[in-house]
Amino acid sequence: MKAVSFVLFACVLAFAPLARAQRAGVINDPDGFVNVRAEKSADAAVIATVKTGEPFTFECENDADWCKVTLKSGKSGWMHLSRIRLHFTEKDLPTTEKDPTGESEIEQFARGRGLNYAAVTRRAARGDSKALKQFFSLAQDADGAAAESIGGVPTVVYHLLGDEKFAKFLLAQPLPYRMMVRNRILSDGLMPPANLYLSRHFPQTAKTLFQREMGRLVFAERSLCDPQSLHRRVGVERIESRACGADREEDRPGAIGSDAR
């Protein structure tokens, strides 16, 4: 039953509705270009072509396979969702300049931990391992208004970091931390289905976060939380994590379970 619950949680989150809002995108296609169609069909007339590295804006209806794209030229048409990768620049990161209106909630939260939120976030996006740990811990622990303030920023950070560097960072982290990061990024504004988006555009990261072996260790961790567990009695290695706490990530509504493929 637990395994079924994990899968159901994964499906609920992975197919959560995508708000209809303009976002920036680039293509991700091995051919180096993607056609823009006049209608929502692969048989529709080609009205433009987008090449690798050319940013555009797009918006998608909930659960739609095709998205309305607008090119820099002003021409608009339709592109299949699978070809679109979110696009960010450092301008999408929090600024180190002081806001005359005062600190945001997440800045206050970070300062309470002795951290400069903007500086940590920018270092994380450039691949600083210590800053990445600090940043995702902030994203995990923030609640209320602070959680709202940091919403969407994890997605910006690892897109700027790139698949190879992000996967390398994750592989160096213990399992509980990887689980936490996985849940955080899957609930942070990706296009549904979120796990499929990662497998298409961040294949190394997806392999790190969704490998089948992780599922077995997740259940081992859950067993360790049970004082009567057979696993504990036979000496399964104890894994120190917040997973045994009352606010364990997998137990929260909408959290991702193991092996969400």
Average pLDDT over residues 190-212: 85
Q: What share of the chain is helix, strand, coil (3-state, %, to 5)?
A: 50, 15, 40
Q: What is the pLDDT of residue 254?
A: 35
pLDDT range class, residue 5, cuts 50, 70, 90: very low
- Check pLDDT > 70 for residue 54: yes
Q: CA of 23: how far to CAs of 16, 47, 157, 174, 240, in Å?
A: 17, 21, 16, 33, 39
CB-CB contact of 242 with 176 (8 Å)? yes
Average pLDDT over residues 205-214: 76
CB-CB contact of 90 with 160 (8 Å)? yes
What are 28-48's pLDDT values in tens digits? 888 999 999 999 999 999 999
- For the record, the structure tokens of 28 come out as 């991700």
Stated length of the chain:
261
Q: What is the pLDDT of residue 98?
A: 83
Give me the residues paired with residue 78 across strands: 37, 68
- Check pLDDT > 60 for residue 210: yes
Least confident of 16-25, 54-63, 213-222, 229-238: 229-238
Least confident of 10-19, 29-38, 104-113, 210-219: 10-19
Q: What is the pLDDT of residue 124?
A: 97
Q: What is the pLDDT of residue 97?
A: 85
> Which of 114, 109, 187 lies closest to 141 in space, CA to CA?
109
Q: What is the pLDDT of residue 212?
A: 57
- For the record, the structure tokens of 189 come out as 């504004």
Average pLDDT over residues 221-243: 39
The number of beta carbons lying within 10 Å of the beta carbon of residue 143 is 11
- Residue at token pair 């917040």: 242
Radius of gyration of the chain (CA): 20
pLDDT range class, residue 57, cuts 50, 70, 90: very high
Least confident of 25-39, 61-75, 165-179, 223-237: 223-237
Domain definitions of the chain by residue range: 15-86, 91-251
Q: What is the pLDDT of residue 8?
A: 35
> Which of 169, 183, 173 lies closest to 248 in space, CA to CA?
183
Q: What is the pLDDT of residue 122?
A: 97
Q: What is the pLDDT of residue 247?
A: 34
Amino acid at 178: R
Strand order in 84-86's β-sheet? 46-51, 33-37, 76-80, 66-70, 56-60, 23-27, 84-86
- Residue at token pair 């300049």: 97
15-86 classified as CATH 2.30.30.40? yes
Three-class secondary structure of residue 257 per DSSP = coil
Q: What is the pLDDT of residue 155?
A: 94
What are 132-181's pLDDT values in tens digits? 999 999 999 999 999 999 999 999 999 999 999 999 999 999 999 999 99
What percent of the chain lies above the pLDDT cut of 70? 72
- Check pLDDT > 70 for residue 252: no
- For the record, the structure tokens of 113 come out as 């931990």
Average pLDDT over residues 56-75: 91
H-only helix segments in 142-174: 144-150, 153-161, 163-171
